[in-house]
Structure 1
Amino acid sequence: MRPGPLLSDRWIMNRTVCTVALISLAFCCLALAGPSTDGESTPLARLFGMGPAENFTIRSETLERDFHVYIRLPREYAESECDWPVVYMLDGGILFPMLAPLHLMMEIDDLAPPAVLVGISYGGLGYANGNMRSTDYTAPAPEPDYYGGADAYQRFLSEELIPKINRDYRVDHDRSLVLGQSLGGQFTLYTALTRPDLFGAYLSINPALHRNVEFFIELEPAARQDPTPLLITRASEDREPFRNALDQWLEHWRGREAGSLALSVQGLEDEHHASSAPAAYRQAMAWWAAAGGDTCSGSLGSD
């Protein structure tokens, strides 16, 4: 039997549960929307701050598991024929209901480009509820032994989910951003280094490298035609093991004089490990627009 998360991983989950409580109303409304099967879309009309919103379930042949995917479309999506920038959110069961309404409010204030938002959810919190983030989002580590599934999760994205999104929605994948937090931040960093062409740009929020930082230090990055846009945001109040591991990797990377990453590191003052995603997202939108994640018309805002 696969072991459960160790102490620090439990701490991550406990902090995440606190964040979930703040958005429990959104989860209740999502549950009331009812389940859907692959190919079906259920509008979440009453959650107007998250919409126009749709959802579907996709069965991964690679991972032999279901994923629940939530989509928010730009307000002008139906009236426009253009291909929109697209944001992929790991841990979508938490981050999508948190960040989709924020993105809308940022659009109104000309702080974010209108974009198609894609939240990828496990449908439950914790391994017992089918949440395999500790495997799917991680590179190999000396321990725990359930780390190391990032390559398979990349195949799920590249061969199954991304083609479906490209087929069913008007998106410009060249202007795509993938974001992840904590272990999700480890995945976005790992993918920026190993499969840099999988997305247009990468956001790593408080990446949790505390169990396998040596792997990342020894990792030889893959080549991309242009340097890979990667933003790392780090909370000033993050726990010491996370801060120290990231410091180690950053010190090593900056000493390489490597040109494969267009790396930006931004601090999040007075923010903590699990609760800093909104602050990170706000910083990331300006950075992403500058990196080429702009709108169909090439300008921010939607009025």
Structure 2
Amino acid sequence: MVGSRTAREVLVADKMTRVIAAVVALFCAACASTSQTSPAPPLLAAIDGDYFRWESAALGRALHIYVKLPEGYDPAATYPAVYLLDGDSTYPLLAPTHLFVAFDEPVPPAIIIGIAYGSFDRKMGNMRHVDFRPPAAVAPGSGAAAFQRFLADELIPEIERRYRSDPSRRILVGQSRGGAFVLYSALTAPDLFWGRIVSNASLTPGEEIFFGPPPAAARDDLKLFYASGERDRPEYRAPAQNGSLIGTRRRKNHGR
């Protein structure tokens, strides 16, 4: 008869139903057990360090600050402080690099600080396109002055309050648009950092600001290192080549 089942078919179907129910029950139990007992995964030792969220008055928003202390950190000593722009990407790269290079090279111990947005997406709060942009008539929307106030008035004092950071040995590191901000900082607040490292700076728009007279600095021991990769995109490399005199011009106040 259509729609009727044999006793064997009924038993098989019932058995399958019980098996499926048992599997679902075990899966749910495993999920509940995992959510209740599994701790958060530890950070990798190479980047493990301190973290704090900073609500910036100058910027009107929060930034994420990561701090890697040197091996054998001595509260009685003082250390250079290396401030990394674009900390979302540069901190995981450079904090462990400094750690491992120090094993074989005479690299001074330092405090590494990553300044991060918590995302690479503008819609999720990454404001590097504003914070690192110097003033330019052709490209309104500069936030470099406000970001520099955040560094000078908020972050640096907080780092030097929390850690044994040497105020005379601050270093600022920036790549691409972050490199443009480092140059902007060298022009507008030369004494804020002892050393500056610029990698493949994206000088446009607004490169005209970098070709003015050199800044007046109170110190004569300031350093600026500028690197532009031969394989960088032509539209980014051209301003660096045209402005090769930047490094020469700065040597008077920033050393070589």
1:1-303 paired onto structure 2 within 5 Å: 46-51=43-48, 53-77=49-73, 79-146=74-141, 148-218=142-212, 220-251=214-245, 254=248, 259-263=252-256
1:41-72 per-residue CA deviation (whole Å, 9 max, x = no partner) reads xxx95411123x01000000111110000000
**1:28 aligns to what?**
none
SS at 2:225's partner residue?
Answer: strand
Q: Percent identity?
A: 38
SS at 1:118's partner residue?
Answer: strand
1:232-275 per-residue CA deviation (whole Å, 9 max, x = no partner) reads 01111011122110122223664x69722324xxxxxxxxxxxx
User: How many residues get paired?
Assistant: 218
Q: CA deviation at 1:216?
A: 1.4
Q: Which runs of 5+ in 1 are unaligned?
A: 1-32, 35-43, 264-303
Q: Which runs of 5+ in 2 are unaligned?
A: 1-38
SS at 1:211's partner residue?
Answer: coil
Alpha-carbon spacing, 1:129–1:111, altered in 2? closer, same or farther (3 Å): farther
4+ long deviations beyond 4 Å: none
SS at 2:228's partner residue?
Answer: strand
**2:11 aligns to what?**
none
Partners of 1:195 and 1:252 lie apart in 2 by 16
Partners of 2:76 and 2:83 lie apart in 1 by 21
TM-score, normalised to structure 1's length? 0.67
Which structure has the larger Rg over C-alpha atoms? Answer: 2
Q: Is the 8 A contact 1:192 1:228 kept in 2?
A: no
Q: CA deviation at 1:225?
A: 2.5
For 1:213, the aligned partner's letter is E
SS at 1:144's partner residue?
Answer: coil
Q: Is the 8 A contact 1:217 1:253 kept in 2?
A: no
Q: Is the 8 A contact 1:227 1:259 kept in 2?
A: no
1:9-37 per-residue CA deviation (whole Å, 9 max, x = no partner) reads xxxxxxxxxxxxxxxxxxxxxxxx98xxx
SS at 1:47's partner residue?
Answer: coil
Q: CA deviation at 1:101?
A: 1.0
